[in-house]
Amino acid sequence: MTTAVVLIEAERDAMGTLGGALADLDGVSEAWSVTGEWDFVAIIRVPRHEQLADVVTGQLVTLPGVTRTQTMVAFEVFSRHDLEAMFSIGG
């Protein structure tokens, strides 16, 4: 499984509809509206690394209102839940 985080800048007119459109894309597991420099964050999970291009450049950037993106491919995941389970003895 390959996971990527995509930061998305949107046109003001697209703010009300782009989140739902992002979430509807195959491969997008979550879409968040956020504050700061970027307007949305999309979490992409695909079985094969090669599929990232299909999702990002083939679908995501072609959505109306998307003006700029930055994609970061994840190397490794860490979460409080995973770390607690790893160090838990018994339980």
CATH number at residue 60: 3.30.70.920
Among 70, 72, 67, 71, smallest CA distance to 15 is for 67
pLDDT tens digits along 8-42: 999 999 999 999 999 999 999 999 999 999 999 99
Model pLDDT, residue 91:
53
Asked if the model's pLDDT at residue 90 lies above 70, the reply is no
How far apart CA 59 and CA 85 sit, in angstroms, is 37
Model pLDDT, residue 28:
97
DSSP assignment of the chain equals -EEEEEEEEE-GGGTTTHHHHHHTSTTEEEEEE-SSS-SEEEEEEESSTTHHHHHHTTTGGGSTTEEEEEEEE-S----HHHHHHHH----
The predicted model scores a pTM of 0.84
Domain span at 29: 2-87
Write down the mean pLDDT value for the chain. 91
Q: Based on the structure, what is the number of domains in the chain?
A: 1
